[in-house]
């Protein structure tokens, strides 16, 4: 099984709680640069990109922490 | 140090000296951070009687201990200095990403002194701190400045606090812009930056922020998040943002218009009420770590402002440009937002200067010979936008408006001061105290930054029954089951609420509410109702104990708020504010609206009762030496005289 992260851009508010929860869960510190999920804010346009970095297990802490349920891990069936 | 970075960065622009000092652990315990630490730093580092636009003024950026963690809304930064507008403590709070970034760079506070010889900006990239030439940025608006700095540094994700032309031109109510769409708006801190030849402070960091007891902190944050998201104001605030309160205050009958001359009519709420926002709101945007996401991204797809895309139509700008100046459509308020953000001027005092001049024009106190031939009238959108530009560039009539209403009245004379709506130098907006007397409106007299509404608000209030006419000390009370849910310590609940008489003491609630919001602004979280009204000393003590690793009791937290109230009063007293200055603008005592005006003697009694609540001398509104000692403030002795 190899889950992948579905992102509903309409629901994401760019709050970065996912990245903070990720770094706290893995490393015991708050540091978004260390997180395996990155929220890139395009501030002037009011939009975001979300990137999953290499090394993500995934543990789904980002999904659990998202206040708007914009993140959903989707199970990929093994072929 | 956990929670705190433990470092304060000091930059003296006069000699380009950059230094760091360790933050003293006890200062964190006593003043918490953010607004509290700023107040302490200003008391330690400057003489409050100095000219606010001189190089002796000290500008401090303070970020609280929760900022940078995932505690909901822990993203706020307080900036403070002596205000060039009011002559009192200048202080303003803003969110988004700047505060967390400073924590990741490794600092809790930045202290900026002196004046650069020529325009510069500061770039803080972890411990690498540089002062960079900004000659090429001087004269640019805030949006252009942010774009150019990010390109110049190759730092797309850096957070930028900068001034527009308003700050450069020392407009007394210039703001510091927080990225493209936020601002430290009130009290003219942008002019302080301009007076120092400082165009921007840019931060980027990637250091770890540690927690003393991670599991306990996680538990406390879960409790905090639950309190916020279950608060009855959460859903309406996440849907409408601050615009939800336009309707609340209109329904209270608290909103006056045309520079606070009469109650606004139905056309106000029909055109500017919260439902109108949803025609233009495309999505919700959040500051870092915020579950509320109260900022609307709006796109105007019709009418003269078609094509405008911007973050934020807010209650404040709606009251400023809608109620005060007579605009009756939200796209025009969105357009005004673009202007005050780009120019870097505070929307409230900008609108108040224009509103005051318009009122004087209407009353024939000034005429076209004073206004460069302009005919001032209510609701004239293009005229207001042109006047905002003139203010920012101090061009012609705008040069006078840029001084703010109090100085305009002094310059013009002719009895114009009777029309001022400025209490202690700052306009009292949203609720007019003549038609709504409560903790909020009384707060204008004790707010550390002057007569606005954002530093003294009760966590719970009676919306159903107004204060009877002639009553100033007690509001109609609240059911015990409502009060039981509020996180105020029992000792203070007993002082504030009388369930037998069914009353709430306005002066005691004001003291408690002020202390509470001091804590909120010092820990670095948001004052929006779902946050500030759902939290208090009990949950804050759990958060702080787990984060810092030092045991904080709820009383320690409350007392820190009280300490900050006392310290900020000392700053203002040293700046020259006396007991007799704690009064409203004459207009509120002399001119009726809806057949109501304020009773000066009775309000003076409320101030004395407030002094009683604070254990201050009612004749001076100052703490005794014993009081200062009990708060550990004895080294900041009362001012002479």
Confidence of residue B258 (pLDDT cuts 50, 70, 90): very high
Q: Burial-class residue B165 by CB neighbours within 10 Å (0-12, 13-18, 19+).
A: buried
pLDDT digits (tens, 9 = 90+) for B406-421: 999 999 999 999 999 9
- Mean pLDDT in residue range A27-44: 96
Task: Name the residue among B429, B351, B10, B24 with its Cα closest to residue B175.
Answer: B351
**C-alpha to C-alpha distance for B330 and B272, rounded to whole angstroms:** 6
**Is the residue at A79 inside a domain?**
no
pLDDT at B20 over 80: yes
The pLDDT assigned to B641 comes to 44
**C-alpha to C-alpha distance for B514 and B232, rounded to whole angstroms:** 22
Confidence of residue B429 (pLDDT cuts 50, 70, 90): confident
Find chain A residues with C-beta within 8 A of B311's C-beta: 46
Residue B636 in tokens: 């900041």
The pLDDT assigned to B15 comes to 98
The pLDDT assigned to A9 comes to 86
Selected for mutation to probe chain A from B286, B292, B528 (highest A CB count within 10 Å) is B286
Q: What is the dihedral sign for C-alpha B81, B85, B86, B92? A: negative
Structural domain boundaries, residue A69: 4-74
- Mean pLDDT in residue range B498-526: 98
- Mean pLDDT in residue range A46-75: 91
B252 backbone dihedrals φ, ψ, rounded to 5°: -75, -10
- Mean pLDDT in residue range B65-80: 98
- Mean pLDDT in residue range B148-152: 98
pLDDT at A75 over 80: no
What is the predicted ipTM?
Answer: 0.95
Residue A29: which of B208, B218, B297 has the nearest Cβ? B208
- Mean pLDDT in residue range B224-245: 98
Which positions ≥6 away from B9 have C-beta within 8 Å?
B18, B19, B20, B107, B109, B110, B111, B124, B129
Is the CB of B311 less than 8 angstroms away from the CB of A30? no
- Reduce the DSSP state of residue B7 to 3 states and report it: strand
Confidence of residue A2 (pLDDT cuts 50, 70, 90): low
B397 membership: H or E segment, kind and range: helix B397-401
Q: Burial-class residue B479 by CB neighbours within 10 Å (0-12, 13-18, 19+).
A: exposed
Place of tokens 């600092």: B107
- Mean pLDDT in residue range B224-248: 98
CA distances from B282 to A17, A26, B297 (A): 22, 35, 6
pLDDT digits (tens, 9 = 90+) for B537-548: 999 999 999 999
Q: How far is the alpha carbon of B103 from chain A, nearest alpha carbon, in Å?
A: 10
Find chain A residues with C-beta within 8 A of B178's C-beta: none
CATH code, domain with A64: 3.30.70.20
Residue A17: which of B70, B157, B283 has the nearest Cβ? B70
- Reduce the DSSP state of residue B116 to 3 states and report it: coil
The pLDDT assigned to A5 comes to 82
The proportion of chain B whose per-residue pLDDT surpasses 70, expressed as a percent, equals 99
pLDDT digits (tens, 9 = 90+) for A16-32: 999 999 999 999 999 99
Q: Yes or no: say if B28 and B555 are a contact pair by the CB < 8 Å rule.
A: no
**Is the residue at A47 inside a domain?**
yes
Strand-pair category, B262-263 with B256-257: antiparallel
pLDDT at B357 over 80: yes
Find chain B residues with C-beta within 8 A of A46's C-beta: 283, 285, 297, 309, 311
**Is the residue at A60 inside a domain?**
yes
**C-alpha to C-alpha distance for B458 and B311, rounded to whole angstroms:** 28
Considering chain B, what is the average pLDDT of its residues?
A: 97
pLDDT at A71 over 90: yes
Helix runs in B65-141, H state only: 98-105
**C-alpha to C-alpha distance for B437 and B120, rounded to whole angstroms:** 46
**C-alpha to C-alpha distance for B198 and A7, rounded to whole angstroms:** 41
Is the CB of B104 less than 8 angstroms away from the CB of A31? yes
- Mean pLDDT in residue range B567-595: 97
Is the CB of A30 less than 8 angstroms away from the CB of B70? yes
Bigger pLDDT: B274 vs A8 = B274
Find chain B residues with C-beta within 8 A of A67's C-beta: 229, 291, 293
The pLDDT assigned to A1 comes to 42
- Reduce the DSSP state of residue B259 to 3 states and report it: coil
Is the CB of B285 less than 8 angstroms away from the CB of A13? yes
Is the CB of A28 less than 8 angstroms away from the CB of B210? yes
Give the number of domains in chain A: 1
- Reduce the DSSP state of residue B71 to 3 states and report it: coil
The pLDDT assigned to B440 comes to 96
**C-alpha to C-alpha distance for A26 and A19, rounded to whole angstroms:** 11
**Is the residue at A62 inside a domain?**
yes
pLDDT at A79 over 80: no
- The DSSP bridge partners found for residue B93 are B78
Residue B631 in tokens: 């708060």
pLDDT at B400 over 60: yes
Task: Name the residue among B42, B6, B2, B7 with its Cα closest to residue B571.
Answer: B42
**C-alpha to C-alpha distance for A32 and B87, rounded to whole angstroms:** 40
Number of Cα atoms under 13 Å in the Cβ half of residue B534: 20
Find chain A residues with C-beta within 8 A of B309's C-beta: 45-46
Helix runs in B69-177, H state only: 98-105, 142-153, 165-168
The number of helices, as runs of H, and strands, as runs of E, in chain B is 27, 25
**Is the residue at A51 inside a domain?**
yes
Q: What is the dihedral sign for C-alpha B274, B275, B281, B286? A: positive
Bigger pLDDT: B65 vs A77 = B65
- Mean pLDDT in residue range B425-429: 93
Q: Yes or no: say if B172 and B68 are a contact pair by the CB < 8 Å rule.
A: no
- Mean pLDDT in residue range B515-523: 98
Is the CB of B180 less than 8 angstroms away from the CB of A30? no
Residue B76 in tokens: 């706020």
- Mean pLDDT in residue range B559-578: 98
**Structural domains in chain B, sorted by start:** 7-204 (3.60.9.10), 232-420 (1.10.569.10), 439-533+553-575+603-630 (1.10.599.10)
């Amino acid at each position: 099984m190899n889950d992948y992260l579905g992102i509903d851009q309409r629901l994401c508010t760019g709050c970065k709680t996912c990245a903070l929860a990720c770094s706290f869960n893995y490393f015991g510190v708050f540091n978004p640069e260390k997180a395996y999920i990155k929220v890139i804010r395009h501030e002037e346009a009011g939009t975001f990109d979300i990137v999953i970095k290499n090394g993500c297990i995934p543990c789904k802490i980002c999904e659990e922490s998202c206040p708007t349920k914009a993140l959903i891990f989707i199970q990929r069936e093994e072929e | 140090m956990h929670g705190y970075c433990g470092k304060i960065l000091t930059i003296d622009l006069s000699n380009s000296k950059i230094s760091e000092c360790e933050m003293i652990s006890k200062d964190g315990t006593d003043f918490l951070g953010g607004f509290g630490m700023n107040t302490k730093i200003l008391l330690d580092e400057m003489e409050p009687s100095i000219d606010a636009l001189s190089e002796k003024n000290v500008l401090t950026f303070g970020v609280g201990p929760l900022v940078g963690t995932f505690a909901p809304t822990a993203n706020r930064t307080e900036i403070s200095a002596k205000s060039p507008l009011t002559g009192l403590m200048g202080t303003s709070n803003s969110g988004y990403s700047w505060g967390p970034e400073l924590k990741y760079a490794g600092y809790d506070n930045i202290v900026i002194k002196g004046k650069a010889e020529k325009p510069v900006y500061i770039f803080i990239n972890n411990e690498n701190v540089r002062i960079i030439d900004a000659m090429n940025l001087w004269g640019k608006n805030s949006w252009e400045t942010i774009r150019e700095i990010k390109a110049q540094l190759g730092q797309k994700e850096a957070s930028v606090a900068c001034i527009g032309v308003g700050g450069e031109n020392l407009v007394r109510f210039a703001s510091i812009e927080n990225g493209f769409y936020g601002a430290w708006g009130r009290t003219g801190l942008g002019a302080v930056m301009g007076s120092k030849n400082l165009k921007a402070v840019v931060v980027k960091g990637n250091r770890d922020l540690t927690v003393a007891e991670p599991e306990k902190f996680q538990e406390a944050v879960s409790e905090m998040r639950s309190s916020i998201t279950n608060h009855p104001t959460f859903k309406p605030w996440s849907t409408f943002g601050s615009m939800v309160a336009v309707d609340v205050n209109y329904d209270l009958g608290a909103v006056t218009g045309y520079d606070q001359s009469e109650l606004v009519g139905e056309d106000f709420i029909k055109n500017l009420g919260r439902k109108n926002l949803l025609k233009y709101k495309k999505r919700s945007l959040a500051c870092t770590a915020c579950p509320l996401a109260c900022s609307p991204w709006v796109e105007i797809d019709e009418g003269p402002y078609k094509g405008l895309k911007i973050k934020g139509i807010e209650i404040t700008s709606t009251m400023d440009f809608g109620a005060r100046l007579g605009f009756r459509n939200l796209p025009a308020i969105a357009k005004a937002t673009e202007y005050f953000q780009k120019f870097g001027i505070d929307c409230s005092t900008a609108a108040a200067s224009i509103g005051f001049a318009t009122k004087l024009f209407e009353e024939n106190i000034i005429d076209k010979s004073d206004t460069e031939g302009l005919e001032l009238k209510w609701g004239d959108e293009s005229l207001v936008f042109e006047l905002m530009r003139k203010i920012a560039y101090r061009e012609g009539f705008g040069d006078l408006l840029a001084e703010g209403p109090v100085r305009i009245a002094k310059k013009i004379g002719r009895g114009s001061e009777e029309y001022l709506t400025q209490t202690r130098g700052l306009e009292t907006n949203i609720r007019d105290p003549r038609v709504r007397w409560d903790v909020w409106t009384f707060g204008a007299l004790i707010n550390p930054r002057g007569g606005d509404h954002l530093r003294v608000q009760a966590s719970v209030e009676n919306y159903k029954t107004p204060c009877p006419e002639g009553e100033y000390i007690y509001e109609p009370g609240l059911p015990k089951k409502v009060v039981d849910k509020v996180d105020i310590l029992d000792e203070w609940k007993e002082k504030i609420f009388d369930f037998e008489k069914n009353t709430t003491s306005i002066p005691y609630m004001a003291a408690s509410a002020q202390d509470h919001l001091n804590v909120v602004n010092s820990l670095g979280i948001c004052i929006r109702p779902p946050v500030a009204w759902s939290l208090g000393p009990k949950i804050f003590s759990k958060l702080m104990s787990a984060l810092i690793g030092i045991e904080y009791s709820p009383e320690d937290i409350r007392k820190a708020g009280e300490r900050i109230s006392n310290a900020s009063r000392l700053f203002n007293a040293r700046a020259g504010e006396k007991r007799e200055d704690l009064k409203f603008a004459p207009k509120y005592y002399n001119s009726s609206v809806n057949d109501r005006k304020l009773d000066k003697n009775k309000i003076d009694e409320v101030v004395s009762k407030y002094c009683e609540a604070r254990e201050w001398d009612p004749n001076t509104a100052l703490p005794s030496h014993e009081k200062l000692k009990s708060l550990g403030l004895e080294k900041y002795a009362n001012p002479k005289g």
